[in-house]
Amino acid sequence: MAITDHAGLPPEALRPTCDPATLGFASTRELDGVDQLIGQDRAMDAIRLAAGVRHADFNLFVQGSSGMGRRRAVMELLREQAGQRPTPCDWVYVNNFEAPHKPRALKLAPGRALEFKSAMEELVDDLAIEIPAMFDSEDYQAQRRALEQEYGQRQETAMAEFAERAKSENVAVMRTPMGYMLAPIRNGEVVKPEVYEKLPQAEREEIDAKIARLQEELAKVLQQAPKIERELRRRLEDLHRGMAERVVRDQVQEVAALFPDHEGIQAYLDEARQDMIANAALFLELAAQAGQNPFPEAVRKAHPLPVFQRYAVNVMVSHQADGTGAPLEAEDLPTLDRLTGRIEHVSEMGALVTNFTLIKPGALHRANGGYLVLDARRLLSEPMAWPALKQCLQSGSIPITSMAERLSLMSTVSLQPDPIPLDVRVVLIGDRMLYALLSMLDPDFPDLFKLQADFEDDMEQDDESRRLYARMIAARAKRDGTRPLTAAGVARVLDEAARAAGSNRKLSLRIDMLSDLMREADFYAAQASRDEIGVEELDRAVAERERRASRVRDRLQEAVERGTILIDTDGAKVGQVNGLAVSMLGGFAFGHPSRITARVRMGSGEFIDIEREVELGGPLHSKGVLILAGYLTSTYALDVPFSLRASLVFEQTYSGVDGDSASSTELYALLSALSGLPIDQGLAVTGSVNQEGEVQAIGGVNEKIEGFFETCRRRGLTGRQGVLIPQSNVQHLMLKTEVVEAVVRGKFRVIPVSTIDEGIALLTGREAGARDPDGNFPPDSVNGLVEARLRAFAEARRAFGKTDGNGEQTK
């Protein structure tokens, strides 16, 4: 058998499948489902620790790939733990009567916040009835009349005494529209002006002097009137205060009796009582607006002025008092305001105003005493949200500040509410890259998030794990409301899980992807009027999913088929080999071949990677080229200067190339160019190489094989075509059934290799050759031809160095 006639791997190694007979059931109807994640013991233990430990800063970062059910698992476990923890206290904000811009936070027992709020509303409503009624009472009216009569009588007595004194001196006191006026009296009658003018000069002067003196006394009497009125007003105010205090005190004491052991509420009610007494007129105004309305609370709520909000209770968070456990909150839009709360403003006469009743809670308030679940990427993308969360966790409290305040963009008067103490366990859900970046770039992150739950991408495949997986499939089908699966259908799902894991020894734990597959298969089963989901429906779902995503792949294959992209699948050529690459569009990965060529000539040891030179090659690709250069320089012609100039290129690639999976392919092209031996174009190659010449495992091996198989199938399978893969990738093979069927018919091959020597022998049909005891390769072997070519380059370079450049020997 020629070297190129290698049969390759047997069909059973290309797609190891699950035998339905080993599962032990005919349908998932028979199974006791497991509706929980499997294979995630390490992550689940970390979540349980974060949920149970009571020390601060043991917050949790849940990492792993999407589609694995991380969020659902976290929520279910935390919900279970939350039910076992005590119910946290309620929190309210109340008015600070001494400094209204600094509202006070009060802590209450669970369920008491709403009771306190209702009690204060009833207090205001009751006072709105009782205070006006008190001022309409006979008792109040009698006391007011008595005071008014008392002070009125004092004024009248003073005027009467003055009038008597004036009368005794023949002077009358007369009231006019302009005030009081004094006039002389003669014979009991007021002296008229014309009579007064006829009186003797001396008598007139005596009268004038007397009236002037009495005018001064009258002025003193009149000056006492405002003082008496002020005294009356103060006495009335004392009366009003006393009457109001009597009503308010009784009502407030009823509220205080509901919270006998709460010092904060008792202190607040004492301040509220004093404020209500001082502002009793507000209740009279409310009564005047209410009129005959029998519902004063409606008038209170519709009052145009927020005067009664000063006695309101702003409930920030309230819990049921029936022992339902700790809260569990998940904030899907973790902006700064939705996280830490906000202070709203209303427009009043063109100005923005606010008060403590416009303080709104955030997710931290609602989750206080329990658990808060956040999406890490969304949290980090919201301005100021991540710094605010860290500040709250570090300080152990929840200060409420708007973004405008943090950025000094707002000049309006705002509030400074008391920070509410914080006791919460935060759970962030994100990918591994985010966790790594936060760990490296944020020094606070490791201190605040001491725990990580790293979800596995896959689990080992054995009889026990397959049965457990089948139970999970049964539970997922029941939860999603799909038809039961046959045993063959479950085996098909397990095969797809192995393919998704990229290994025939593992099962993927991306449960959501498999659930989507089952639901689509359920749709096709419904169309076919079947009671169960079988292999046919699942095969169709897989095929349709691939068909929906494969437009770009099909266009590439079409370009190859029409010769737009040059790929040879037959014949042999020197310095040319088919490499394999994988492209990813969304969640769909597909392989496609690329022509790789190498050209060599005498030089000074230069390897020109054209992809790198034009900045299309990534760092991993450049690393692979340097490694293969290291292999060449350490393997051949060690006793002469390395005198090679080589160029390598991926033909017809117009975008970036990265990864080292083509390094063995590029090395094969160089060995072919150096030896002059053509490479079989029916074979494609993938695999990386190290400096020892060992072929190493690569990713996407299934997609790469299938991509070249599709190219060959479109061109026509010859039976000599196939793919060389690293021996270490055999465990990852889960090829499509059409590839396996072609291998069964002898139309295609998958050949594992461990070393470059094995690969180059298969590609050229010539033994690679090993050094004999004298250190020489067989002259007709691949390695012998390569070394001879390199020595020829070295000799030519040495001879050229002895000439003057025109072919003449130099001395």
Structure tokens given for 381: 């993308």
Please identify which of the residues 661, 672, 675, 688 carries the catalytic annotation.
Answer: 661
Note if 661 is an active site residue.
yes
CA distance 446 to 432: 15
Q: Give residue 804's pLDDT.
A: 56
Residues in contact with 421: Cβ distance below 8 Å, sequence separation at least 6, in sequence order: 107, 396, 397, 398
Domain chopping of the chain, boundaries:
20-38+457-549, 82-88+319-454, 566-798
8 Å CB contact between 370 and 85: yes
User: In CATH, which of 3.30.230.10, 3.40.50.10490, 3.40.50.1820, 3.30.428.10 is domain 566-798?
Assistant: 3.30.230.10
Q: Give residue 657's pLDDT.
A: 72
Strand partners, 58: 449
Residues in contact with 763: Cβ distance below 8 Å, sequence separation at least 6, in sequence order: 577, 668, 672, 679, 680, 683, 685, 724
Q: Give residue 305's pLDDT.
A: 42
Q: Give residue 168's pLDDT.
A: 73
CATH topology of domain 20-38+457-549: Helicase, Ruva Protein; domain 3 (1.10.8)
Please identify which of the residues 117, 506, 704, 736 carries the catalytic annotation.
Answer: 704
User: In CATH, which of 3.30.43.10, 3.40.630.30, 3.40.50.300, 2.30.40.10 is domain 82-88+319-454?
Assistant: 3.40.50.300
Q: What is the pLDDT of residues 216-226, one digit of tens each?
A: 776 776 666 67
Q: Which of 658, 662, 657, 644 is nearest to 599 (CA)?
A: 644
Q: Give residue 530's pLDDT.
A: 94
Note if 220 is an active site residue.
no
Q: Please name the residue ranges forming H helices in 136-200.
A: 138-168, 193-198
Q: What is the pLDDT of residues 306-322, one digit of tens each?
A: 567 888 999 999 988 77
Structure tokens given for 683: 């074979």
Q: Which residues of the chain have pLDDT under 70?
A: 1-5, 140, 144, 147-156, 178-180, 188, 196, 218, 221-225, 228, 232, 235-240, 286-307, 323, 404-413, 609-611, 613-617, 654, 656, 658-659, 803-811
Other C-beta atoms lying within 10 Å of the C-beta of residue 258: 12
Q: Give residue 646's pLDDT.
A: 86
Q: Which own/partner pairs from 411-414 qualify as long-range (CB within 8 Å, at least 24 positions apart)?
A: 412/345, 412/351, 412/352, 413/101, 413/353, 413/354, 414/101, 414/343, 414/345, 414/354
Q: Give residue 124's pLDDT.
A: 86
pTM of the predicted structure, to 2 decimals: 0.81
User: What string of DSSP letters covers 629-697?
Assistant: HHHHHHHS-TTS---EEEEEEETT--S-B--STTHHHHHHHHHHHHH-PPEETTEEE--EE-TT-BEE-
Q: Which of 707, 715, 723, 581 is nearest to 653 (CA)?
A: 581
Q: Give residue 4's pLDDT.
A: 57
